[in-house]
Amino acid sequence: MAICRIYEIEGGTLDQYDEVDAKFPESPEGAKLHVAGAADGRLYVVEIWESREQVERYMQSGVGAAIEEAGIPEPKVAEFEIHNEVS
């Protein structure tokens, strides 16, 4: 089942995001959409994945460690199964 994750990261910056993104330039297996931006002192990331297992594999592939190294604060995460998707 496809899932959507929305990360809200208070105090996160686009510079921190770019630091991590530079280390992982390829789209990971199972990623269908990735959007990032910042507003009001927060970093926002929205992702759509084919499955939760693929998200977990990607986080364990080194991206989780890179996020910590960049000093990105712990996010507030909303996750839900996708009921409808229009491209």
Domain boundaries, the chain: 3-81
Dihedral (CA of 72, 28, 58, 80) sign: positive
CATH number of 3-81: 3.30.70.100
pTM: 0.92
Please state the separation of Cα 4 from the chain's center in Å. 10
Strand pairing of 3-10 and 42-49? antiparallel
What pLDDT sits at residue 25? 82
What pLDDT sits at residue 50? 97
Size of the chain in residues: 87
What pLDDT sits at residue 87? 79
Exposed / middle / buried, residue 22 (Cβ in 10 Å: 0-12, 13-18, 19+): exposed
pLDDT tens-place string over residues 33-86: 999 999 999 999 999 999 999 999 999 999 999 999 999 999 999 999 999 998
From 40, 30, 54, 42, select the one nearest 6 (Cα to Cα): 42
> Where does the pLDDT of residue 11 fall: very low under 50, low under 70, confident under 90, or very high at 90 and above?
very high
